[in-house]
A and B are shown apart, each in its own frame.
Chain A
Amino acid sequence: AYKCAFLRCAPRPLLVLSSSSSSSDLKNEQQPSKHLNNMAELRPARCWRTGFFFCVWLLLFLSVASGIRDVVSGSNETSGGPAGDTPEDPHHQTNSTTHKKAFPVLSFNYQEVRKPFVISLWILLALLMKLGFHIIPNISNVVPESCLLIGVGLLVGGIIKAIGEEAPVLDTKLFFHYLLPPIILDAGYFLPIRAFMENMGTILVFAVVGTLWNVFFIGGMIFAVCQIEGVQLAGVDLLSCLLFGSIVSAVDPVAVLAVFEEIHINELLHILVFGESLLNDAVTVVLYHLFEEFSHAGTVTVLDGVLGVVCFFVVSLGGVMVGAIYGLLGAFTSRFTTHTRVIEPLFVFLYSYMAYLSAEVFHLSGIMSLIACGVMMRPYVEANVSHKSYTTIKYFLKMWSSVSETLIFIFLGVSTVAGPHAWNWTFVISTVILCLVSRVLGVIGLTCIINKFRIVKLTKKDQFIVAYGGLRGAIAFSLGFLLTDNERKNMFLTAIITVIFFTVFVQGMTIRPLVELLAVKKKKESKPSINEEIHTQFLGHLLTGIEDICGHYGHHHWKDKLNRFNKAYLKKWLIAGERSTEPQLISFYNKMEMKQAMMLVESGSAAKLPSILSSVSMQNIQQRGSDNRRAIPSISKSREQEIRKILRSNLQKTRQRLRSYSRHDLMIDPFEDNVSEVRFRKQRMSHYLTVPANRQETPSVRKVCFEPEHQVFTYDNSESPRGPRARADPGPLDAISLVSESQGPNQSREQRAKVPEEQEELDQLKLSRCLSDPGPNQEEDLS
């Protein structure tokens, strides 16, 4: 429990959808055991302090709440505002008729900065709340964060109301234009494409057919309920019910993300529920507008129905197309940013946001547009941008989506207290029950059909989780808020809020113990493995080949065609420089190496003792003797000089058992320098190999070496003198070998010389000092 709580303190990724590598990155940044003990000691003290802080924050909340209503809930202030503001401008007063006032040394002018001040304060306090939850250890294990935030919102709203102020409401424009896009972009950008595409059929069926079923079932049954005598609901007509159904039946991505992220469920289920929540936006948008139009018009004809179907396709496909266009534009732009790295992340954000807004202009599905943009852009942008920009993009997206989510839930709580309610027992209770029932029926029914076409069938457990994970959230609330004001609106809103609360609180809180109880498969924490990547590619080609032999144009055939199209055309246009021809295996390999190197660099400063993972190193797998007498191409004189210089300076260090990296070993951080980083990236064939940290939590210290591609050295192991003398390592097959404490003088063999990559940049790019592998006499080779 402690560990859980602690792990959350660190800046964790918001979504489990982000590649497992990123989450494992962030996890690895923490230093587990030591700090946990500290935390344990500080806990009681912290509890008191936190409680105190809570009170302080709540009071502050109240004070800004009176200001916030001007900001959030309307523009009626603007008319009254300026009139009242102008007199408060002492600096420009040139009232010379009255006697001169003393020059104001200190003046108070809150009004001018009120709006941004209040917004910032609001956000700040929301985030402090979030921080607070994780300091109190046990709560965040039991209650998902979304519930806590709603609770806080309720509390704040209640207090505001109690003191007689008018509480702010979740403004629909604010929600749809500012709060929702970051969350969706974050989700779309880090969407696991492979899992998504493999299950696309299932996801589409759930999203489209499932939502349609929900809408009509709930709408119809609610209408039936309204017809019952004695519930005072006779005024509700069918179209209103259907409209209500369309609002309340869509699974909400924000809520799903918030809850599912904490339960770490396996990838398949996650992508099913989450994908459904994303793709049903198109259905929701269409149905909502459709029914709203109809309820104004009053009558429905067949033509309207047909138009509705057409509209659905237009909305969804149009949204995707808009997103794809912006995505391609963004990728194309990123091709030219080699000299202006600093603004690279902005391109990603802005193009995506434009995609969203452009889709909204045409009433297309903004969410699908945003997803399409992120998905489209990502492979090319990642190939083009610098490593730092990549990190920036990742963290900014996570940061924004985290803030948005927090704000959404708090506002939801506040709006609940604030909004006018019209409680009708029958309506509300039947809505909640019907939502549950229709969801369960829909999932079961659809799964029967889907399983006929799936290879990996969905078991009963899977179906249960999918059904149970159908959470409603803020989108439903905002859509409800958009309804035209009439007496039914309040009733609808109340029902919607009740459903949201029920799903988020009850289902959100109980899903974790249920997952444990049912022993649902959890997310596999898998490190990227070069073997798996090789074989994934191999399998892909193999299966394509078998399909071709069968003459069957299946899955793999089309995927292969798409890949080839991608390589032939898109990559050429959208990726800068030589990276456009880099095959995927090599990109993967480079990425892995980069990651290892980063981890290495970062762990170096921690001065930890390296734990021995494996003492396997290159010479264990190199062939002895036989065919390794190869021609050794010459290297330039200056490089040779440099190598000798390094070796000589390294000679001192050979005897020291370098147990860990210290800052002194890293001369210049290669990742600091922009220019050198470009060159580092240009290394087509970074030659350092890694032994991945497999079953280990602490990153062990490894030594990294890399070599330029054109330096091909080989050496003959059998000749290797096992002396302690330092020798340059000429091999392109440098391995990262782990420093083994148990080994004696053989230690020197495992440490390799660093060979700088560019002659001019020699000094800048040294990453580590290693000593040579025993090879033939360096001088002989280099002469």
Chain B
Amino acid sequence: MGASQTRAEHQYQDLADKTGFSFEQIKNLYQRFQQLSGNEETISRANLNSIPALANNPIRKQIIGAFFDKRNQHQDEVGSCDQIGFEQFLMVMSHFRPPNLRTTDEEKEAMRKEKLRFLFNMHDSDNDGTITLAEYRKVVEELLSKSGEIGQETAKAIADAAMLEVASINVPNMGPEEFYEGITFEHFEEILKGLEMESRMHIRFLDVDTSTMRCGKSQS
């Protein structure tokens, strides 16, 4: 009993160091993980797909895909896996932690980069380091997919406008012959710097300072 306790704590300590969560939060998330996986060691896409609340989400596939994307594990691997363990689950969740009063400016900057990277990975499905026009079009299409029959043309138009905007901000003096390959990570950062990602992209209960709320017990 004592041994397993310390082993669990040891494990938690490891995870806490890596992801920055507190023990309480890790415990919460572990319970949720158990629930999702049906008490297995790993969860697969099917487990996540079966969450009923996600059915209405237009970018469900991308979200689920992000969990299985190796690039989000910060271990310089690419590709995707089929099953993820609790550690990977936590790693992905750690992208959604908010900054607190003690976070310095450099840490905030690093946080922002990390979150933007996460978003970038979600868009850049073929992992070539740029978001091409086709990929961006797909993003917009998915966003609009739950909104009825909008059709491809609008999505295309919007995506093109967006791309044009990125290009004109980052490379304003392009000659007519040049071709803008796609949105690189730096350009991505540039266009989204107004959004203050480090404070926008977070889930409230994952904040270490606020009173931790428990993971709800959903019906799935």
B35 near A551 with CB under 8 A, answer yes
**Which residues does chain B contribute within 8 Å of A690, judged by CB atoms?**
161, 164-165
B101 within 8 A of A: yes
> Could you name 28 residue pairs across A and B whose Cβ atoms are closer than 8 Å?
A455-B98, A531-B191, A532-B192, A534-B143, A535-B192, A535-B195, A542-B63, A545-B63, A546-B203, A548-B57, A548-B218, A549-B48, A549-B67, A550-B29, A555-B204, A585-B158, A613-B168, A616-B180, A619-B176, A623-B133, A624-B179, A685-B153, A689-B161, A691-B165, A709-B154, A732-B156, A749-B176, A750-B176
Cα–Cα, bound, A456→B98 (Å): 9
User: Which of A457, A551, A620, A694 is in CB contact (< 8 Å) with B215?
Assistant: A551
* B62 (CB) vs chain A CBs: closest residue: A542
Does A733 have its Cβ within 8 Å of any Cβ on chain B?
yes
Cβ contact within 8 Å between A552 and B164: no
Within 8 A of A (CB), among B44-80: 48, 51, 53-54, 56-60, 62-63, 67
List which B153-207 residues lie within 8 A (CB) of chain A: 153-154, 156-158, 160-169, 171-176, 178-180, 191-192, 194-195, 199-205, 207
- Name A690's closest neighbour in chain B (CB-CB): B161
Which of A526, A529, A556, A684 is most buried by chain B, counting CB atoms within 10 A of its CB?
A: A529
Residues from chain B with a CB closer than 8 A to the CB of A550 are 29, 32, 93, 203, 205, 215-216
Let me know if A9 is at the binding interface, CB within 8 A.
no
Rounded to whole Å, the gap between the CB of A325 and the closest CB of chain B is 29
CA distance A621 to B131 in the complex (A): 12
CB-nearest residue of chain B relative to A527?
B194
Contact A583 B144 (CB under 8 A): yes
Q: Do A620 and B191 have beta carbons less than 8 Å apart?
A: no
Task: For residue A165, give the distance in angstroms from its CB to the closest CB of chain B.
Answer: 57
Interface assignment of B110: CB less than 8 Å from any CB of chain A: no
Does A615 touch B at the CB level, under 8 Å?
yes
Give CA–CA (A74, B143) in the complex, Å: 62
A552, B165: Cβ atoms closer than 8 Å = no
Question: Is A655 in the interface zone, CB < 8 Å from B?
Answer: no
Please determine whether A455 and B178 come into contact, CB atoms closer than 8 angstroms: no
Q: Which of A684-710 contact B (CB under 8 A)?
A: 684-685, 687, 689-692, 694, 709
Which 6 residue pairs are nearest across A and B when measured between Cβ atoms? Answer: A583-B147, A614-B168, A548-B53, A689-B161, A614-B172, A545-B63
The one of B101, B119, B176 in contact with A615, judged by C-beta atoms closer than 8 angstroms, is: B176
A678 to B167 alpha-carbon distance, docked (Å): 33
Bin the interface of chain B by size: 35 or more
Residue A586 is within 8 A (CB to CB) of chain B in the complex = yes
B199 / chain A contacts, CB cutoff of 8 Å: 455-456
A436–B213 Cα gap in the complex (Å)?
38
Contact between A615 and B174 (Cβ–Cβ < 8 Å)?
A: yes
Asked if A539 is an interface residue, CB under 8 A from chain B, the answer is yes
Which residues in A have their C-beta under 8 angstroms from that of B169? Answer: 614, 694
Q: In the complex, which residues of chain A have a beta carbon less than 8 angstroms from the beta carbon of B215?
A: 550-552
**A399 within 8 Å of B (CB atoms):** no
* Chain B residues whose C-beta falls within 8 Å of the C-beta of A457 in the assembled complex: 100-101
The distance from the CB of B196 to the nearest CB of chain A, in whole angstroms, is 9
Smallest CB-CB separation from A547: which chain B residue? Answer: B203
CB within 8 A of A552: which of B151, B195, B203? B203
Tell whether, in the assembled complex, residue B202 and residue A455 are in contact, meaning their CB atoms are under 8 Å apart.
yes
Could you tell me the distance between the alpha carbons of A181 and B32 in the complex, rounded to whole angstroms? 51
Q: A451 to B211, alpha carbons, bound, how many Å?
A: 12
- Having A453-B211, A538-B139, A733-B156, one finds 19 other A-B pairs with CB under 8 Å, namely A457-B101, A526-B194, A532-B195, A536-B195, A541-B59, A548-B54, A549-B36, A550-B29, A551-B35, A551-B215, A586-B150, A614-B169, A614-B174, A615-B175, A615-B176, A616-B174, A620-B174, A621-B133, A621-B164
B209 within 8 A of A: yes
A616-B168, A743-B176 known; A452 and B210 CB under 8 Å?
yes
Contact B172 A616 (CB under 8 A): yes
Instruction: Tell me if A554 and B204 are in contact (CB < 8 A).
Output: yes
Residues in chain B near residue A526, CB distance under 8 A: 194
Set of chain A residues within 8 Å of B158, measured between Cβ atoms = 530, 534, 585-586, 589
Majority SS at the chain B contact face: helix
User: Contacts A452-B209, A552-B203; is A684 near B162 (CB within 8 Å)?
Assistant: no
Give the CA-CA distance A548 to B48 in the complex, in Å.
Answer: 10
Complex Cα distance A536/B191, Å? 12
Min CB gap B40→A, angstroms: 16
Q: Which of A552-582 contact B (CB under 8 A)?
A: 552-557, 560, 564, 581
A329 lies within 8 A of chain B by Cβ: no
Taking the complex as formed, is B134 at the interface, i.e. its CB lies under 8 A from any CB of chain A? yes
* Residues A554 and B205 in contact, CB atoms below 8 Å apart: yes
Within the complex, the shortest CB–CB distance from B105 to chain A, in Å, comes to 13
Q: Is A618 an interface residue (CB 8 A)?
A: yes
Interface string of A605-635 (1 = CB under 8 A from B): 0000000011111111111100000000000
Q: Which of B96, B150, B163, B192 contacts A583 (CB 8 A)?
A: B150
Q: Report the minimal beta-carbon distance from B93 to chain A, rounded to whole angstroms.
A: 8
Complex interface bits, A663-694 against B, C-beta within 8 A gives 1, otherwise 0: 00000000000000000000011010111101
Inter-chain CA distance A26–B147, complex, in Å, is 34
Are A691 and B168 touching (Cβ within 8 A)? Answer: yes
Q: Does A127 interact with chain B (Cβ within 8 Å)?
A: no
* A732 vs B157: C-alpha distance when bound (angstroms): 7
CA distance A529 to B179 in the complex (A): 22
Q: Which residues of B contact A581 (CB under 8 A)?
A: 147-148
- Contact string against A for B residues 22-38, beta-carbon threshold 8 Å, 1 for contact and 0 otherwise: 00000001001001100
**In the complex, A545→B140 CA distance in Å?**
17
Closest chain B residue, CB of each to CB of A524: B194
A529, A551, A735: the one contacting B194 at CB < 8 Å is: A529
Cα–Cα distance between A536 and B202 once the two chains are bound (Å): 13
Q: Does A603 contact B (CB under 8 A)?
A: no
A530-B162, A750-B176 as given contacts; A621 in contact with B167, CB under 8 Å: yes
Q: Which residues of A contact B162 (CB under 8 A)?
A: 530-531, 534
Inter-chain contact B154/A684, CB cutoff 8 Å: yes
Q: Are B203 and A620 in contact (CB under 8 A)?
A: no
CA distance A15 to B158 in the complex (A): 31
Any chain B CB within 8 A of the CB of A543? Answer: yes
Contacts of B164 in A (CB 8 A): 616-618, 621, 689-691, 735
Please tell me if A202 contacts chain B, counting CB pairs below 8 Å.
Answer: no
Expressed in whole angstroms, the Cα–Cα distance for A155 and B159 within the complex equals: 60
Q: Which residues of B have CB within 8 Å of A712?
A: 153
Contact flag A531-B166 (CB < 8 Å), given A549-B54, A564-B56? yes
A746 within 8 A of B: yes
Residues of A within 8 A of B148 (CB): 581, 583
CB closest residue in chain A, given B100: A457
